[in-house]
Chains A and B, each alone.
Chain A
Amino acid sequence: MHLIPPGKLRCLLAACLLWHSVSAQEPMTGPLPDSLTKGAGMVKRMDLTEIDIESPRKARIHHQYVYTILNSTGDPWSAISTFYDKFHDLGNVSATLYDAGGKVVKKIKKSDLEDWNIEGLGIFMMDIRVKYYRFGYHAYPYTISFEEDMTLSGLFGLQPQWMPQPSSLVSVVSSRLVIRAPADYPLQYKEYHFPDPVAVTEKKGDKIYSWQITNLPAVKSEPYAADWYGREPRINLAPGSFEVDGFKGSCYSWADLGRFMDELYKGRAQLPEEARRKVHALVDGLSDDHAKIRALYGFLQQNTHYVGIELGIGGWQPYDANYVYTRKYGDCKALANYMVALLKEAGIRGCSVLIRSGAEAPPIDTGFACTQFNHVIAVAFTGKDSVWLECTSSTLPAGYLSSLTADRDALLLDENGAHVIHTPAYGVRENRLIRVVKGSIDDKGDLQVTMQTDYSGLEQDGPASLVNRASKKDRLDLQRQLLGLANCTISDLADSASPGAVPALRETMTVSAGQYATVAGNRLLFTPGIFMRKMPRLQELANRQSDFELKASVEEADSIALQLPAGWTPEGNLLNGSLSSPFGSYRVRSSFANGVLTIACDYRQYKGIYPAAEYPRLVRLFNLAHREADRELVLLKAPPSAGP
């Protein structure tokens, strides 16, 4: 921590003030250094967030920024967007658009903003409302300045994260966060990738926390780069103690947060009499806890569905079990809470689990207690086993979590508050696609095969969803599209699912494709790769900067056996190749015997973040698989045997 000598402090403050007033006059047209315009769509000239915490019940936020948009990739940041809800009261809002010369083109105030609800998040009714305005200006560069005041009643929603560089396409001249709080107010914070630590000063019984970051250039986006969220400088904030809608809580630890949740959840797990009878009718005849859990989860799935209603404190506090039972619907937390109540009635211990859901969602930081969650699931315990339950899904089997919530830290709400727990991870042995293709090509090039595909784990998520939701016709259309064959007919489509903690799905069908192989004189050309693992083709990248990430572990094994027309043999090389690395492997082998062409290909990849220096090996792996799947095999007709 830097100790600023008093004299210097005064100078610094004065400079700040002076700079602030200068910026009010003329930051818009100053030239920007090349280091900050290179690769950027938008440059943040200044960005100041001032939070004034008066008490655990109230805070004020003043936010100002000046953005210069350099080209069309920066246009999204020209949108003026802010929000309000039960706990956030929006005060003054104003924005100004300047042209390249710094001349004012347009000024807007709060009444000029459009008022919208947030639809399209899958939530039926939410009281968060958006105030929005779009300047629609395209003479680059242009600059937008913005200022708003907001009052928070209840600090639970204290801006949990401050991210001065929201995207790799944004460069930052200067971005500041200043928080003023009573000296005894327990403000919790944690810095990530931050060059300078916080500067804390005391003034008249208040503490002032100040962070500043300057001169951040835009970062070139490279393919398969790990999420920007994990690389960008940011600060997590949490209110050590807070009060919202009459509920008090503290946030020094996960256990604290759990205890606050407990307050919100208190008394909401009472099942009505009729529901209790139904539980017993379902489970009393069963001896095995696993069977009981499955029966109750099935009961939840058959009789309730998801409707998202998030109003006020209802954003964190679930509707009670009676509500869910009588209405037969609820949002994720109400359904999870209801599930836990059903389990409890059956004598099984269950808990609600707060989690950050999303296949691409970044992991939560378990070392810093604050609200990082957007979803709630449930877990049932029996003996040493945990059975995970996604309560908003009517189709997932008990014990299985899809890619939305698998393999991540989450917060289990237990009897002592809460503690961190990790959801099941599915690896290469679980996420598999095994395809077997058997059939023939005739001398006109027509193909006739049977195809059997076994999916398991995360690989079966997509296909299982189609089986459950899509019409047969849509599934046939999609399958035809996936194969990419013109003139293709798919028949005898059948499937059978094996539910369980690692569900599996078997799909079988008959595929016939006219002129699958191209006739070229005495040759037939075809691409067996339509039945093989397809990978994208990657470009070489010299001096790669960022580490790369593979988001899932999978294995795909394809085997193809094609009877070739009599008298035809493969010409040239068959598919053969292999490559192996720490993050994945690929192997393809072919052979021809007794008129049958056999190809077997196996692709594996392992989830993880790998060093940038290894990227050339990833390129070689992907490109090998791409090349082999793209290759055209040639069959040559044997010339007629010379006559006598």
Chain B
Amino acid sequence: MKHAALPVLAFGLILSLLCSTLARAQSGPPDMTFGAITPADFAPTAYAPDSTANAVFLLDHGDVTFDGTYSNNHSFATIYTRHTRLRILNKNALGLATLSISSAHHNGYEAFTTDVRAATYNLQDGKVVETKLDKKSIFKDKNGYYNIEKLAFPDAREGSIIEYTYTITYPGYGYIPDWEFQGSYPVLWSQYEVTVPAMFDFSVKSQGYRLYTVDTTFYFEGASFPVNFGMDARGIWNGKDIHRVWAMDDMPPLDKKEPYTTTLRNHIQKVQFQLSAVQFGSYRKTYRTTWPELTTELLKNDNFGGTLGDRNHWMDDELKKIVQAGSTSQEAARKIFAYVRDQFTSTGQEGIYITQPLKKTWEDKKGGVADINLLLTALYKHAGFEASPVILSTRAHGRTLDAFPLLSEYNYVLTRVLADGQYYLLDATRTTTGFGALPELCYNGPAHVIDAGNDVIPLLTDSITERRITQVMLANDDGGGYSGTYSRREGVFESMDTRTLLKREKPDDFFERLSKGLAEYKQMGEHGFDSLAVPEELLCWHYSMTYHFAQKTLYFNPIMHERMSNSPIPDPERHYPVEMPYCIDNNYILHMDIPKGYAIDQLPKSTRFTLEDGSGSYEYRVDTDGKTIDFHSRMQLKRTNYTVDEYSGLRNFFALVIQKEKEPIIFKKTN
């Protein structure tokens, strides 16, 4: 299934939608009573959405309700019930016969799982035989912040139907779990229903390539329960319940990730929710529907903006050691940045909130992304700089919709600082990132500055170019031999990658690996890296080499170490658009003497090919004056996003490059 069109993105408020018409699929929903399995259910050997699937989900039904009379510190609870029925068609899917149900408990917020009911069904002698799951097949496990219920389904084999239902209770209000209508197996009927008292206003964000089979809104009278939002908002709520139902039929499995797909999250059919307002009588509280509101809320949050306040006097002593008090120069900004980047270790944990007090991050010299970059922001502020935190969603985390801020979609924090009249965007979580540079994962669309200015910084992949320059010089030397030098200046991201590699591996090992791949008549001499220890500098490496030619015919390929030999997109089929992380500009220059005792027998022809719209080009130029040869190749890709329709053109482009780069210069011995 090719996704030619952009995903359908729609959002609306629950309240504002009127009762809409039902669009039913031909087959309609299955019987949703637990245990409603008939012998006919075992008849199919394959199912239409994907006839090669190892398992099929016959039903996946989620139901969210509010319990207004839940007694606890939280006066409400959100009850999520899931009911799933699936059929195992092939033993490769027997992994589905074990199930783990997780609920998180963290910081006093405790969700818990109840009412687990599960059974396996098999067809025996034309009758449906049920094997219930007994208590001995349910195990309770724990991992970090999660409680996990583990189920092992008895009597499961090829052809079996497995059915289970469970309830997770989330104390409080304001959280409705996301629902995905697709997974790695086809789903015949996926349905999500949410029943919410009209007092709560939820924004709904839908994403997917198909329209809903069912998309309805009903109103039910008679909701009534006690409410306590503070002194001015207490009493009994009487009003309507809004009941929303979405369903999809015959959903094919999500196509697997392809090269240059950022994340399948951008393509999966799903629905997400965020509380936008609560209204009780004259009491009305709005939440995060606009960026200014979100910003205000984040700045007040103890685990975000609250860390930036001026209670950080313990920073004084350390700051004195790093910079001169009161200086807001670029030099001072660089020093503070380098201090945090080099002295602190990131655990890699993403998220926008701190996981521990700033002081603990300071003492342990380690923390998650938010801990480290919020600490950096606080340090800058304390030293007198204008600095603000910036939030974004990383490439692997999925695209965000700017008009529709869903805080759960943001998972990364950066620091923006003003120094010598210029703004710099900084990430101190990796030792390989220079001042003002950002790792690849940050380039995923708009990043939001969380301060009164509410600036939006577009971090677009089209705006960054990875530039590599390689130079090779070869000459007949005085000693009668043939020798020269190779040197490469890596682009920003390749420099980061190589520096990361060199944390694990020594420079000597790097060059040893290179020399293992050299032709037998080529020898590597002295070698080294330049500015390895300075992340702000592009990384350069070089080596000297000697050649010992003996053959009658020499096949000399001018491109060393960077020939494109495998296509980055080899598959002729493509389902998702191509999303490259940056634009490309690779330059390769070779200048060589014709080796003594040899003459050119064949020189590859100069050529140039381009993408249809000209945004990508490959130039290959060879010239000779009879004594020396000049070679220059340059590949440029000025765009990073390509639609599915443009895929074959891009693939052909790479195939031409691969083909061309195989061509050798052929020398023949003259005597």
Contacts and interface: CB of A to CB of B under 8 A. Distances in A.
Report whether chain A binds chain B. Answer: yes
Interface of A: 72-73, 105-106, 114-117, 119, 124-125, 134-139, 302-303, 305, 307, 309, 326-329, 394, 468-469, 471-472, 477, 480-481, 484, 486-487, 489, 515, 518-523, 525, 537, 539, 571-572, 627, 632, 634
B139 interface: yes
Contact of B152 (A307, A518, A537): A307
Contact of A329 (B97, B150, B504, B571): B97
B516 interface: yes
Interface stretch (B358-366, B463-471, B577-585, B609-617): B358-366
Contacts of B602: 520-523
A292 to B, nearest CB: 22
A139 B553 CA distance: 54
B663 interface: yes
Contacts of A472: 52
B265 interface: no
B141 interface: yes
B143 A116 contact: yes
Nearest to A328: B155
B71 interface: no
A139 B342 CA distance: 10
A136 B364 contact: yes
A628 to B, nearest CB: 12
Contacts of A307: 97-98, 152
Interface in B125-167: 131, 137, 139, 141-144, 150, 152, 154-158
Interface in B286-301: none
B570 interface: yes
A521 B566 CA distance: 23
A525 B156 contact: no
Interface stretch (B58-66, B433-441, B654-662): B654-662
Contacts of A125: 139, 141, 150, 152
A124 B504 contact: no
A376 B141 CA distance: 25
B143 A137 contact: no
Contacts of B131: 326
Contact of A136 (B94, B347, B567, B662): B347
Contact of A328 (B157, B512, B666): B157
Contacts of A326: 131, 154-155
B345 interface: yes
B92 interface: yes
A138 B142 CA distance: 31
B478 interface: no
A137 B365 contact: yes
Nearest to B367: A136
B155 A327 contact: yes
Interface of B: 52, 91-92, 94, 97-98, 131, 137, 139, 141-144, 150, 152, 154-158, 343, 345, 347, 363-366, 503-504, 512, 516-517, 520, 551-553, 555, 565-567, 570-572, 601-602, 604, 655, 658-659, 662-664, 666
Given A305-B94, A523-B602, 8 more contacts: A307-B97, A326-B131, A394-B94, A486-B659, A487-B658, A521-B666, A572-B553, A627-B520
Contacts, number: 119
A115 B143 CA distance: 7
Given A518-B663, A520-B604, A539 B516 contact: yes
Given A124-B98, A138-B345, A539-B516, A634 B659 contact: no
B3 to A, nearest CB: 17
A487 B571 CA distance: 9
Complex A-B, nearest 9 residue pairs according to Cβ-Cβ distance, in ascending order: A136-B366, A327-B154, A136-B345, A521-B602, A518-B662, A125-B139, A486-B658, A305-B94, A328-B155
Nearest to A72: B503
Nearest to B158: A302
B655 A487 contact: yes
A326 B552 CA distance: 75
30 contacts: A116-B143, A117-B141, A124-B152, A134-B347, A136-B364, A137-B345, A303-B157, A305-B94, A307-B152, A309-B139, A326-B131, A326-B154, A328-B156, A329-B156, A480-B570, A481-B570, A486-B567, A486-B570, A515-B659, A518-B663, A520-B602, A520-B663, A520-B664, A520-B666, A521-B602, A525-B555, A525-B664, A572-B551, A632-B555, A634-B553
Nearest to A573: B551
Contact of B571 (A305, A477, A515, A519): A477
Contacts of A124: 98, 139, 150, 152
Nearest to A119: B143
A303 B155 CA distance: 8
Contacts of A471: 52
A39 to B, nearest CB: 12
A394 B155 CA distance: 16
A281 to B, nearest CB: 14
B116 to A, nearest CB: 15
Which secondary structure dominates where chain A touches chain B?
mixed
A484 B345 CA distance: 39
Contact of A106 (B364, B662, B664): B364
Contacts of B655: 486-487
Contact of B154 (A116, A134, A328, A523): A328
Contacts of B150: 124-125
Contacts of A137: 345, 365-366
Given A115-B142, A326-B154, A523-B602, A305 B91 contact: yes
A634 B552 CA distance: 13
B363 A106 contact: yes
Instruction: Count chain B CB atoms within 10 A of each CB in A106, A305, A326 and give the residue with the most.
Output: A305
Contact of B97 (A305, A518, A632): A305
Contacts of A328: 154-157
Contacts of B139: 124-125, 309
Contacts of B566: 484, 486
A80 to B, nearest CB: 14
B232 to A, nearest CB: 43
Contacts of A486: 565-567, 570, 655, 658-659
Contacts of A305: 91, 94, 97, 156-157
A114 B602 CA distance: 66
A518 B570 contact: no
A302 B516 CA distance: 49
A41 to B, nearest CB: 11
A519 B660 CA distance: 9
A577 B602 CA distance: 29
B91 A327 contact: no
A117 B139 CA distance: 13
A443 to B, nearest CB: 16
Contact of A484 (B517, B553, B565, B666): B565
Contacts of B666: 520-521, 523
A117 B142 contact: yes
Instruction: Count chain B CB atoms within 10 A of each CB in A302, A303, A487 and give the residue with the most.
Output: A487
Nearest to B572: A489
B325 to A, nearest CB: 26
A571 B553 contact: yes
Nearest to A571: B553
Nearest to B551: A572
B44 to A, nearest CB: 19
Contacts of A487: 655, 658-659
Contacts of A521: 601-602, 666
Contacts of B363: 106
Contacts of A116: 143-144
A130 to B, nearest CB: 10
A157 to B, nearest CB: 21
A523 B602 CA distance: 9
Nearest to A468: B92
B141 A634 contact: no
A309 B552 CA distance: 68
A537 B516 contact: yes
Contacts of A480: 570
A178 B94 CA distance: 48
